[in-house]
Amino acid sequence: MAEVCDRIDEIPVDQTVVIMCKSGRRASALANLLVVDYNRKNIAVMEGGIEAWRDAVDSTLILD
């Protein structure tokens, strides 16, 4: 989260930005931070994270 905040100027404001992580929990926390503290309105979270993607789309995906 700290690195993202340090690089906030690199995150586009004119297009939707999707935040994802393995389970979706850290992505939700980061998205909340970006919306609340940085007033970013263009943030979306991949619900359930990469694990949900694997379960719904590609069961061959290996997560460690």
* Residue 64 pLDDT exceeds 90: no
Model confidence pLDDT, tens digit, residues 20-63: 999 999 999 999 999 999 999 999 999 999 999 999 999 999 98
Contacts of 64 (CB under 8 A, 6+ apart): none
**Position 63 in a domain:** no
Backbone angles phi, psi at 45, to 5 degrees: -120, 135
Contacts of 52 (CB under 8 A, 6+ apart): 24, 46
> 45 forms bridges with which residues in the sheet?
19
Q: What is the CATH number of the domain that holds 18?
A: 3.40.250.10
- Stretch 11-16: mean pLDDT: 96
Residue 1 confidence (pLDDT): 84
Number of separate domains in the chain? 1
**Position 61 in a domain:** no
Residue 2 confidence (pLDDT): 87
Residue 39 confidence (pLDDT): 95
